[in-house]
Chain A
Amino acid sequence: DTEVTQTPKHLVMGMTNKKSLKCEQHMGHRAMYWYKQKAKKPPELMFVYSYEKLSINESVPSRFSPECPNSSLLNLHLHALQPEDSALYLCASSQTGTSGRSQETQYFGPGTRLLVL
């Protein structure tokens, strides 16, 4: 099973709402990632978790709050978002939690399309 699942597929929220995105993988991967992708742009890294610990935060605003409750699950909590945060949010995973492995493939989920009104 090389699948990364994400829920929900679509989400519409107001600027005062609180919502969460969920990502799950059962491949035993120990690194998990959140990316943000605007239309016709490449994915941009937001956060990386390695062995359930936050390894990278790419200066993401605090209205985005990641959480990794266990090795299979990654959440992204959203609060007080702005319309410019509307995008496709992609989750990915890779095998080890050790950086610098040259042969590792990242596996991506289908994404959550977020619209902030």
Chain B
Amino acid sequence: KQEVTQIPAALSVPEGENLVLNCSFTDSAIYNLQWFRQDPGKGLTSLLLIQSSQREQTSGRLNASLDKSSGRSTLYIAASQPGDSATYLCAVKTGGFKTIFGAGTRLFVKA
């Protein structure tokens, strides 16, 4: 059974700091891995999607990497801003339509 773990559960950093969020999964047989952002009480916004054949994806200040063989992904956020404060979720797509989410990392960026 696929399990997705995110570390740390919560993170507080000063504005401007570069930071790394971690995601690990137990079964390397995935179709893709997606990083989402969720603001309190809101829906999910897709940030980056990495296909199983890819190693990394970049969008603006965000860079996500995938090492399928070791079951790990990282989300790198450069020059963090208070507006980046949110919960970040990683999710792996397994067989069929199923997507398994991690519990998320709650990020707080202090001005």
| Distance from B9 Cβ to chain A, minimum over Cβ atoms (Å) | 9
Q: Is the CB of A106 within 8 A of B34?
A: yes
User: Least Cβ distance of A10 to chain B in Å?
Assistant: 10
Tell yes or no: B51 within 8 A of A by CB: yes
> Which 4 A-B residue pairs are closest in the complex by CB-CB distance?
A42-B101, A108-B44, A99-B96, A110-B43
Which of A14-22, A48-56, A61-69, A72-80 contacts the other chain? A48-56
List of B residues within 8 angstroms of A6 by Cβ = 43
What residues on A are CB-neighbors of B43 within 8 Å? 4, 6, 90, 108-111
B45 within 8 A of A: yes
Which one of A31, A92, A103, A111 has the highest number of Cβ atoms from chain B below 10 Å of its Cβ? Answer: A103
For B53, list chain A residues within 8 Å (CB). 102
- The CA of A43 and the CA of B102, in the complex, are separated in Å by 9
B32 at the interface (CB under 8 A from A): yes
A113 at the interface (CB under 8 A from B): yes
Q: Given the complex of chains A and B, what is the CA–CA distance between A105 and B103 in angstroms? A: 19
Bin the interface of chain B by size: 20 to 34
C-alpha gap A76/B43 in the complex (Å): 17
Interface residues on A, range: 20 to 34
B residues less than 8 Å from A55 (CB atoms):
96-97
Whether A107 contacts B97 by the Cβ 8 Å rule is no
- Output the least CB separation between B100 and chain A (Å): 8
Once the chains bind, are A102 and B97 in contact (CB under 8 Å)? no
Q: Which of A33, A103, A106, A110 contacts B46 (CB 8 A)?
A: A106
Q: Chain A nearest CB: distance from B56 CB in Å?
A: 15
Which of B46, B97, B98 meets A105, CB within 8 Å? B46
Bound complex: CA of A107 vs CA of B45, how far in Å? 7
Residue of A nearest to B96 (CB): A99
Across the interface, name the chain B residue whose C-beta is closest to A92.
B44
Set B44, B97, B102, B103: member contacting A48, Cβ < 8 A: B97
* In the complex, chain A residues whose CB is within 8 Å of the CB of B36: 108
